[in-house]
Amino acid sequence: MDQILGNISLLFEFPVVNLKIVIDGLMIGALFALAAYGLALVWGVMNVKNLAQGDFVIAGGYVAWYLAKLGLPPLFGVPIAFVIMWGIGWVIYKTVISRVIERDLFTSLLATFGLAIMMAQIMNLLFGSDTQSIQLQYDTLYMFDGFVDIPIAKLLGVAMAAALAAGVIFFMKSSRMGQAIRATAQDARAARVLGINTEKVYSFTFSLNAAICGAAGAIIVMVWVIQPFYGITYSIRSFVIVTAAGLGNLPGVIAAGLGIGAAEQYGAHIFGIGYQQAIAVLLLLFVLIYRLIQQKRLRQSLK
C-alpha cells in the first residue's frame, strides 16, 4: 500500500513522468489497435472469434526476425511479413476456418484455440523458445532532461502502424472488395442474394486479418521482444479492445487501443508491472458490466 501511494506521489512530484507514461502507452497501444482491428474484421464479417489472433502477430514477428537474420534490412520485414502472413492466413482459412464458419460459436472457438496451440508449438520447434528481437541502429530522442525517451525505431513502428491502418481504411471504403466485405458484414445472406461471392469475401477477410497481424508482429519484434508463447498477450488485448469499442466502429477500436495502452502503463506504474495485464482484463470486465446495464435499459442487442 505504501508503495502504491509512493508511486502515485511520484506522478505529482515529477509531472513529466506522466508524459513519458502516456507516450509509452500510446506507442504500444497503436500496435494493440492494429491487431484488434483485424479481429474486429473477422469477428464482424465472419462471426469467428479468432483466439489465434496473437499467434498471428507472433508469427509475423518471427518472419521479420528470420529475414533480418538472413541479412535483409529489418524495415523490409514489415511488408514481407504482411505478404507471407497473408498466404498463411489463406491456407488456414481453406483448411480450418472454412469448415467451422457455418457451425456454432463453440466449434469455431475450439478450432481457433487449437490453432493457437498448434502455431505456438510449431514456432517453438522452428525457432526455439528463446526470446528474440531485432535491434535497429537508430538513435533515441531525449527530451525533458532525458526523462522522456523516444527511440526512433518506436516512432517508425508507430508511423508504419498508422500508415497500414490508413491503407486498410481507405481500401475498405473505396474498393469493390472493401464494399463487398462491408456488405457481407451487414447481412451475409442478402449479400449472397445480390451476387456477392461470400466465400471469397471470407477467405479474403481472414487473409487480410492474418496479414495485418503479421505486419504488427514485424513492428513489435523491432521495438519489443517476441517469444513463441507470447501470442496470448496480444489475443487478450485484442478481445478487450474489440469488446470495448464494438464491432464496425473503427475509430472506436483505435481509440480503445491507444487508451488501453496508456491505462496499462499507468496501472503498471502505480500497482507494479506485474498487474499490467490484470488492468487490461479488469477494464474488459468493466466494459462488459457497462454494456449489460446499457443493454437492459435500451433493450439493444450486443453486436
Residues 63, 214, 269, 284: which binds another protein (CB under 8 A)?
269
What Cα–Cα distance (Å) separates residue 235 from each residue in 35, 36, 71, 195?
8, 8, 30, 34
Q: Is 265 in the site for another protein (CB under 8 A)?
A: yes
Grid cell at residue 4: 502504491
Under rule CB under 8 A, residue 20 binds another protein: yes
Q: Within positions 174 to 213, which residues make up the interface with another protein, using CB under 8 A?
A: none
How many residues interact with another protein (rule CB under 8 A)? 43
Could you tell me the sign of the dihedral formed by the alpha carbons of 62, 64, 65, 66, in that order? positive
Residue 128: Cβ-neighbour burial (10 angstroms; 0-12, 13-18, 19+): exposed
Q: Which is nearer to another protein, 69 or 173 (CB)?
A: 69
Is there binding between residue 146 and another protein (CB under 8 A)? Answer: yes
- Is residue 224 within the footprint of another protein (CB under 8 A)? yes
Q: Which three cell numbers stand for residue 97?
A: 476456418
Shortest spacing between CB 41 and another protein, in angstroms: 25
Q: How far is the CB of 292 from another protein (least distance, A)?
A: 29
CB of 170 to another protein, least distance (A): 30
* DSSP letters for 127-176: H-SS-B-------EEEETTTTEEEEHHHHHHHHHHHHHHHHHHHHHHHSH
Residue span 117-136 as binding mask against another protein, x where in contact by CB under 8 A, dash where not? ----x--xx--xxxx-x-x-
Q: What does the alpha-carbon distance between residue 143 and residue 138 come to, in Å, rounded to a whole number?
A: 16
Nearer to another protein, 57 or 191 (CB): 57
Q: What is the 3-state secondary structure (H, E, C) of 32-54?
A: HHHHHHHHHHHHHHHCCCCCCHH
Of residues 44 and 54, the one with the C-beta less far from another protein: 54
Which amino acid, residue 208?
A: L
DSSP-assigned letters across all residues of 129-142: SS-B-------EEE
- Interface with another protein (CB under 8 A), residue from 14, 49, 162, 182: 14
Query: Which range binds another protein by CB under 8 A, 42-50, 108-116, 174-182, 219-227?
Result: 219-227
Tell me which residues touch another protein (CB under 8 A): 3, 7, 10, 13-14, 17, 20-21, 24, 28, 121, 124-125, 128-131, 133, 135, 140, 142, 146-147, 149, 151, 220, 224-230, 232-233, 265, 268-269, 272-274, 276-277
